Structure 1
Amino acid sequence: MNTEEQFLENFIKGERFIRKYKLYLVSFVIIFVLWLIVSFVMDTIKESNVRESNEIYANLLVKNDDKILLDKLKNKNLNLYAIFLMQKLTQNPTNTQILQELNALSENEKIEPLFRNIIALANNDKSIFLKDYAKILEAYVLLGQKKIEEANVLLAQIKPNTPLEKIAKNLKHYQGISQ
């Protein structure tokens, strides 16, 4: 067989393959194009929501007590709303209304799990993911009360090779506790 015959034979085989799997190939192309369109639209909507949430948050930082903006932020982005409440709580730690709102948010499934633990820690609840951090804070309070032995026990419970290990060692060192 010469080259032209081989080329013609391969062309015919390719044509048969395309005829046989035409429906599958067209379906694949259509699904792929639809996926591209949907992902583009979803990304655009998500980006728009993030931009709008950030604008609302920036306006809330200027106008602290605007209830309309606060409700908009709560509806748009619960995580950013919780951050705003945490910021207000640092300005007024005894505000029970903010504490109750944060408690309700910490049980909401739409809030990021790690952020729920941060809220729980701010409310003096036990946090699963931040237990070493909670131990550091508790040990710091104990050291302030001159309960060095109890603080030493808590600081010794912090696992090695974690970022908090250095902080634990520093707290032991500055209180005269040798390792």
Structure 2
Amino acid sequence: MSLKENVDFVKNELNSEEKFLESFVKIERFYKKNKALIITSIIVVVVAIIGFSVKNYIDNENKLKANIAFNKFLNDVNNQEALKTLEETNKKLYNMALYLKAKKNGQTADVNVLFFNSLSKYQKALKEQSIEKLNDVSMDPNFLLKEFAIFNKALIEAKDGKYEDAKITLKLIQKESKAYELVKILNHYLLTK
């Protein structure tokens, strides 16, 4: 190495050390200037992580309690302790339990679970032979048995002698529907009317 190369090497080393110290000083100034904000941000992040962990733990415990209580309820539908636990830990399972209990007792229950609510309304409409209630149920986009509700509406209309209304109602059921076989049978009957 020549003397000139040595001098250049030393200059480069000094420049890199100088840049390092300069960046360190900038970081230190930034920290001193925003110390409260940085500490507050760290505390908020730590509290959020702890809160999220505690919430997950409580949710998991509630799921476990609710599942155990639901199993107890399925074994004995008159178990009030299991119903109370379900009511406190999981409202959907509680509503399902009320639905199952009412069904076992031959009643209908107004429940707040998406599909069971519609099914309960459907059963009530069939029991009452109510065209209006079947109409309401069939208009629910979340109802799984929509075509069967429409078919039952047409069946009630046919029983009441409203044959033209029944024919119009049956046209609402598409050919791809599982209820279409029933529609063909009723349409065959309605041809004579």
| Coarse TM-score class (shorter-chain normalised) | 0.5 to 0.7
TM-aligned CA deviation for residue 143 of structure 1 = 6.0
Q: Deviations over 1:54-90 (max 9, x none)?
A: 1011011112222232233233323212212222333
The TM-score with structure 2 as length reference comes to 0.64
Amino acid at match of 1:153: I
34-43 or 71-80, larger mean C-alpha shift: 71-80
CA RMSD of aligned residues (A): 3.5
Aligned counterpart in structure 1 of residue 28 of structure 2, from 9, 15, 19? 15
121-130 or 1-10, larger mean C-alpha shift: 121-130
Structure 1 residue ranges without an equivalent (≥5): none
Aligned counterpart in structure 2 of residue 166 of structure 1, from 169, 177, 183? 177
The TM-score with structure 1 as length reference comes to 0.68
Identity %: 24
Instruction: Provide the C-alpha distance between the structure 1 equivalents of 2:176 and 2:184, rounded to a whole number of angstroms.
Output: 12
Question: Residues 53, 134 of structure 1: CA spacing in aligned structure 2 closer, same or farther, 3 A cutoff?
Answer: same
Question: Residues 18, 24 of structure 1: CA spacing in aligned structure 2 closer, same or farther, 3 A cutoff?
Answer: same
1:65-84 alignment runs, 5 A limit:
65-84=78-97
1:58 aligns with 2:71: yes
- The alignment covers a number of residue pairs equal to 161
TM-aligned CA deviation for residue 24 of structure 1 = 0.8
Question: Residues 114, 18 of structure 1: CA spacing in aligned structure 2 closer, same or farther, 3 A cutoff?
Answer: farther
Residue number in structure 1 paired with 2:149: 138
Instruction: Provide the C-alpha distance between the structure 2 equivalents of 1:3 and 1:170, rounded to a whole number of angstroms.
Output: 85
Question: Residues 132, 119 of structure 1: CA spacing in aligned structure 2 closer, same or farther, 3 A cutoff?
Answer: closer
Instruction: Provide the C-alpha distance between the structure 2 equivalents of 1:35 and 1:65, rounded to a whole number of angstroms.
Output: 42
Amino acid at match of 2:27: G
